[in-house]
Amino acid sequence: MAAACLRLVWLAPLLLGLVDGGRAEPPRDALREELVITPLPSGDVAATFQFRTRWDSDLQREEGTDHYFLRYAVLPREVVCTENLTPWKKLLPCSSKAGLSVLLKADRLFHTSYHSQAVHIRPVCRNARCTSISWELRQTLSVVYDAFVTGQGKKDWSLFRMFSRTLTEPCPLASESRVYVDVTSYNQDNETLEVHPTPTTTYQDVTLGTQKTYAVYDLLDTAVINNSRNLNLQFKWKSPPENEAPPVPFLHAQRYVSGYGLQNGELNTLLYNTHPYRAFPVLVLDTVPWYLRLYVHTLTITSKGKENKPSYVHYQPAQDRLQPHLLEMLIQLPANSATKVSIQFERALLKWTEYTPDPNHGFYVSPSVLSALVPSMVAAKPVDWEESPLFKSLYPVSDSSSYFVRLYTEPLLVNLPTPDFSMPYNVICLTCTVVAVCYGSFYNLLTRTFHIEEPSTGGLAKWLANLIRRARGVPPL
Amino acid sequence: MAAPGVAATDLEVVRGKRAALFFAAVAILLGLPLWWKTTETYRAPLPYSQISGLNALQLRLMVPVTVVFTRESVPLDDQEKLPFTVVQEREIPLKYKMKIKCLFQKAYRRALEHEEAALSLGSMQEAETMLAKSQKQAEGSLTVYVISEHSSLLPQDMMSYIGPERTAVVRGIMHREALNIVGHQVIQVAQAMSLTEDVLAAALSDHLPEDKWSSDKRRPLKSSLGYEITFSLLNPDPKSHDVHWDIEGAVQRYVQPFLSALSAVGNFSVDSQILYYAVLGVNPRFDPASSSYYLAAHSLPHVINPVESRLGSSAASLYPVLNFLLYVPELAHSPLYIQDKDGAPVATNAFHSPRWGGIMIYNVDPTVYNASELPVRVEVEMVRVMEVFLAQLRLLFGIAQPQMPPKCLFSGPKSEGLTTWELDQLLWARSVENLATATTTLTSLAQLLGKISNIVIKDDVASEVYSAVAAVQKAAEELASGHLASAFIASQEAVTSSERAFFDPSLLHLLYFPDDQKFAIYIPLFLPMAVPILLSLVKIFLETRKSWKKPEKID
């Protein structure tokens, strides 16, 4: 979270197909919105907005999905800025006029140390037999503020300090509009911190495998937006918290390129399972552009120094300029281990018009996608998706003992061998010079006439010699 | 010793001269053409003369009119002259480089048995249905029935009748000049049903010089292969109004029949959306007299811009988008009325913007506020709304109110809201417009290619140009022979081919190849090669001149 990792991923509905609710009939045109605020002891504050819109459609769901139409596409790097936020906000029913969306002010949202913005669209069954479907549009925006740095060493925060706005009214179209504040470790004693205004209700739940407590503010509850007609959540640390290390997630990953030179290289993915005693499988999906020619026989997976055989490998080779490599593997991660997946590749030479305008910057390789059912520490009750808050479905619980996580590793930047782009001109110049030199001497040889020059008889020497000769009486030269 | 030596040197000099000349000859005869050929930009031949010929194209629009005489419509001796054909020609005066002539080809004939029977029926509707059963008329053609002077089909004071199909009825006359009088009436009716000057002027409005009427004539959408129609419900105040509209049903019931009647003109796609918190760009004024708010006519142009940024449909479509907005004003600003230039409220409470779409303001019935608390549930009366939107849609497609000749009865359109001959009128106009567009595109492409010699013309671009030219010519021919449907299709082909040629990306490939780079590449080769050749040529030239002058002196 230290580096600003900006990504805008448009996910096909199929990628989200894992979560399939639809037990209860969703209301027509239902909008639910919520904001989850998680203050961290370090002074970072994470805020996650979620907006979910549903509408009915007459499209009938086909029997099964035709996998021929499955598409997966990634843009490895996109600099996210206001021009991504504006159309995203336009999709919200209340635009940015009412409800939680008033907080979405571009100049504050992009002054953060982390920004992630997403749009998900998927069909949802309206009844158990799935005879009719609704479409669900889910928009999420997560930002992390560094309150410690921006607040000159203070770790207190408020909505106004984060967003330079306060909540004034609920969106009239929303059937649910709530703010959740994570108060897990602080609510036992009111000594460490204070939340103002005092929450009327709290919500307890198991998220990411641990027990969490949230203070809930329901905007549709008229008492919440008080007489001053606005809600400005404030959070004060009474005694400065210990700088404890943040909890390490059970699954995290890292990716890098190794090797030297411009011919060969190696893609490495490190997968960490920090769970003390449970092993779990991870599905790794990699798409690698065709100009990195993968050597599949060099694919090695090692964990704890031993070879780890994947239980499932699907590989689709690349075709030059047509399709990238697709590599999918199911790997079992042993408990408390780091697993290294590495594969060697050769860098291809591109045609000279295929290079980007700044070829020496390198070429981006898309992140690999990890999907896993991570075992949780605390058993979670199975819940009804329609009833529980939206953020629950970010990490849906499949059964009581594990929850689903999808991780994206960092994109890679790989240098390709770049030609000297002035080479054609140099070649032309050199060839021309060689041709000109050859031609010149040949031309001279053929057109010049050569004849032997009579040595010219020396003037003064001859006259002197003749003078002496005449004096001697010898005939002159 | 000296003489043979001199001879040998002379021989050498001559050989050197010959070698230099040979070098020059090879360089000029072989090298230059080779260089020219290998570095040439590929330019496929184009029909330049035909393209410039298109500008002087004379469009002859022929309207085939069949005039059918019933038994007692005209005097007997006139009837005996039947059948025969008369062509009436009329030039349409437009300030346009194309000359447009309108031909009415009137084919006179006697009525057949079933036609006699149909026209002797009691009412016009029955007669029409019976006539429609018997024959199918081609696009663009018209049939005019001349009935007896005393027939009860027409009301007494009416002289003619124009039906919803391609038929009309004219009252005959017993007179010595009967054929002339009837012929004049037929032309009047046929003109109203087919080509009028206004229709063509509106079609060519983009190509005509500006005049004071031009803004009105620029209302219709430009011709295109398809159109996208978006209905948007704007609810700026969802806290007080919970607005519902049955747009799906309304589109099915009112818009779809109209569009399927228009389907010959292009593909249509219809979508709808509801936008909340979308406000107009102008603050309405309060009128204390009627305690209502109003938008003045002069402020209407500023209304659209802030709304348009939220409509967002134009980005997703290749075709022109028509927007129809239904605006339910905020509680604080209702009721809201649109005032015209004189300050009187507009009856429909709607306005349209040329080539963009229409906006209608829908005021909520004030009595509902008393009954229940906010938000008030509002069900939009779709009939009222669609009436206005359909009228605007007609205007935006350039279907003007028909101009009737005097004493003419007009039946009104069928249930689709469009008469068949109005559709024909639209096809005439669109064909002419397409031809004008294609000609302009081709002419400017030819001009551009003539001016810039760096542009590569690939074979496929050339073939597009050829097919566009052929399609223009075919469309013109079909128009002249009165085949409207095929002429329209050909004109559409002409537009698509010409645009495809004009916007082909391959035209840009070498456009910006700068001259200094060319010199930088050529100089290292050409300079060292050309200098010795030129120098020896100069030397040879000087020597020969000297040797020519010498003999003169001796003489």
Task: Give B43-98 pLDDT, tens digit per residue.
Answer: 888 888 888 888 877 888 888 888 888 877 777 777 777 777 878 777 777 767 77
Chain B residues close to A173, C-beta within 8 Å: 238, 276
**Of A103-117, B9-23, B92-106, B429-443, minimum mean pLDDT range:** B92-106
Chain B residues close to A440, C-beta within 8 Å: 528, 532
B59's tokens: 């469009």
Burial of A125-142, coded b for 16+ CB within 10 Å and e otherwise, reads bbeeeeeebbebbbbbbb
Other beta carbons within 10 Å of B528: 17
Handedness of CA B147, B152, B157, B158 (dihedral sign): negative
* Cβ(A97)–Cβ(A173) below 8 Å: no
A382-396 pLDDT, tens per residue?
666 667 788 877 777
Name the minimum distance, in Å, from the CA of A217 to any CA of chain B.
21
Probe site for chain A from B277, B279, B308, B506 (most A CB atoms < 10 A): B277
* Cβ(B475)–Cβ(B487) below 8 Å: yes
What integer best gives the mean pLDDT of chain B? Answer: 82
Chain B residues close to A169, C-beta within 8 Å: 239
What's the confidence (pLDDT) of residue B91?
76
CA B244/CA A19 separation, integer angstroms = 32
Q: Are the beta carbons of A173 and B276 separated by less than 8 Å?
A: yes
CA A443/CA A441 separation, integer angstroms = 5
Probe site for chain B from A169, A449, A453 (most B CB atoms < 10 A): A449
The number of CA neighbours under 13 Å toward the Cβ of B215 is 2
Integer CA distances (angstroms), B113 to B66, B71, B116, B146, in order: 16, 10, 5, 14
Of A93, A440, A449, the CB nearest to B276: A93
Q: Are the beta carbons of A433 and B524 separated by less than 8 Å?
A: yes
The 3-state secondary structure of B351-419, one letter per residue: EEECCCEEEEECCCCCHHHHHCCCCEEEECCHHHHHHHHHHHHHHHCCCCCCCCCCCEEECCCCCCCCC
Q: Are the beta carbons of A428 and B239 separated by less than 8 Å?
A: no
Chain A residues close to B17, C-beta within 8 Å: 447
Question: Residue B41 carries which DSSP code?
Answer: P
The 3-state secondary structure of chain A, one letter per residue: CCCCCEEEEEECHHHHCCCCCCCCCCCCCCEEEEEEEEECCCCEEEEEEEEEEEEECCCCCCCCCCHHHCCCCCCCCCCCCHHHHHHHHHCCCCCCCCHHHHHCCHHHHCCCCEEEEEEEEEEEECCCCCCCEEEEEEEEEEEEEEHHHHCCCCCCEEHHHHHCCCECCCCCCEEEEEEEEECHHHCCCCCCEEEECCCCEEEEEEECCEEEEEEEEECCCCCCCCCCCCECCEEEECCCCCCCCCCCCCEEEEEEEECCCCCEEEEEEEEEECCCCCCEEEEEEEEECCCEEEEEEEEEEEECCEECCCCEEEEECCECCCECEEEEEEEEECCCEEEEEEEEEEECCCCCCCCCCCHHHCEEECCCEEEEEEECCCCCCCCCCCCCCHHHHHCCEEECCEEEEEEECCCEEECCCCCCCCHHHHHHHHHHHHHHHHHHHHHHHHHCCCCCCCCCCCHHHHHHHHHHHHHHCCCCC
pLDDT along chain A (477 residues), means of 10: 34 34 46 87 85 78 68 84 87 85 88 89 79 85 85 79 86 87 68 75 77 84 72 77 71 93 92 91 94 94 91 93 92 94 93 84 92 82 71 74 88 90 82 87 81 70 87 83
| Higher-pLDDT residue of B309, B134 | B309
Q: Are the beta carbons of B19 and A97 separated by less than 8 Å?
A: no
What's the confidence (pLDDT) of residue B128?
77
User: Mean per-residue pLDDT for B400-408?
Assistant: 73
Q: Which of B185, B178, B123, B183 is nearest to B153 (CA)?
A: B123
Name the minimum distance, in Å, from the CA of B468 to any CA of chain A.
33
Chain A residues close to B524, C-beta within 8 Å: 428-429, 432-433, 436
CA B382/CA B378 separation, integer angstroms = 12
Handedness of CA B121, B126, B130, B135 (dihedral sign): positive
* Cβ(B432)–Cβ(B62) below 8 Å: no
* Cβ(B23)–Cβ(A447) below 8 Å: yes
Helix (H, G, I), strand (E, B) or coil at B232: strand
B488 burial level (CB within 10 Å; 0-12, 13-18, 19+): buried
A385's tokens: 């998706």
Of A98, A449, A452, the CB nearest to B16: A449
DSSP H or E segment with residue B201: helix B197-203
User: Mean per-residue pLDDT for B317-338?
Assistant: 88
- Residues of B near A (Cβ–Cβ under 8 Å) read 5, 8-9, 12-13, 15-17, 19-20, 23, 238-239, 276-278, 310, 312, 375, 520-521, 524-525, 527-529, 532-533, 536
Q: Are the beta carbons of A97 and B277 separated by less than 8 Å?
A: yes
Q: State yes or no: pLDDT of B447 exceeds 70.
A: yes
Other beta carbons within 10 Å of A356: 13
Q: Which of A36, A28, A9 is nearest to A93 (CA)?
A: A28
Chain A residues close to B312, C-beta within 8 Å: 87, 90
Probe site for chain B from A428, A432, A435, A442 (most B CB atoms < 10 A): A432
B335-381 pLDDT, tens per residue?
899 888 888 888 888 888 888 889 999 998 888 887 777 788 888 88
Integer CA distances (angstroms), A266 to A288, A289, A292, A360, A410, in order: 12, 14, 10, 19, 16
What's the confidence (pLDDT) of residue B92?
75
CA B386/CA B254 separation, integer angstroms = 7
Q: Are the beta carbons of B9 and A449 separated by less than 8 Å?
A: yes
CA B356/CA B395 separation, integer angstroms = 11
Integer CA distances (angstroms), B230 to A166, B155, B316, B388, in order: 36, 43, 12, 15
B187's tokens: 């032309």
Question: Residue B223 carries which DSSP code?
Answer: P
Beta bridge partners of B64: B105
The 3-state secondary structure of B100-120, one letter per residue: EEEEEEEEEEECCHHHHHHHC
- In which band, very low, low, confident or very high, does the pLDDT at B303 lie, cut at 50, 70 and 90? confident
CA A122/CA A130 separation, integer angstroms = 14
CB under 8 Å to B71, separation ≥6 — which residues?
B111, B116, B148
Q: Are the beta carbons of B239 and A172 separated by less than 8 Å?
A: yes
What's the confidence (pLDDT) of residue A25?
41
A49-100 pLDDT, tens per residue?
999 988 877 666 556 667 777 888 888 888 888 888 988 988 888 888 888 8
CA A337/CA A334 separation, integer angstroms = 6
Q: State yes or no: pLDDT of B157 exceeds 80.
A: no
**Scanning the structure block, which residue is given the tokens 């936020």?**
A85
Chain B residues close to A94, C-beta within 8 Å: 238, 276-277
What's the confidence (pLDDT) of residue A15?
34
Q: Are the beta carbons of B529 and A439 separated by less than 8 Å?
A: yes
CA A160/CA B468 separation, integer angstroms = 63
What's the confidence (pLDDT) of residue A191?
63
* Cβ(A203)–Cβ(A176) below 8 Å: no
What's the confidence (pLDDT) of residue A12?
34
CA A74/CA A287 separation, integer angstroms = 9
Beta bridge partners of A374: A403
Q: Are the beta carbons of B238 and A432 separated by less than 8 Å?
A: no
What's the confidence (pLDDT) of residue A13?
33
Name the minimum distance, in Å, from the CA of A419 to any CA of chain B.
20
User: Mean per-residue pLDDT for B190-205?
Assistant: 76
- Residues of A near B (Cβ–Cβ under 8 Å) read 87, 90, 93-95, 97-98, 169, 172-173, 425, 428-429, 432-433, 435-437, 439-440, 443-444, 446-452
Integer CA distances (angstroms), A148 to A142, A151, A157, A297, B373, in order: 18, 5, 9, 49, 47
Chain B residues close to A429, C-beta within 8 Å: 521, 524
Q: What's phi and psi for B201, nearest 5 deg?
A: -65, -40
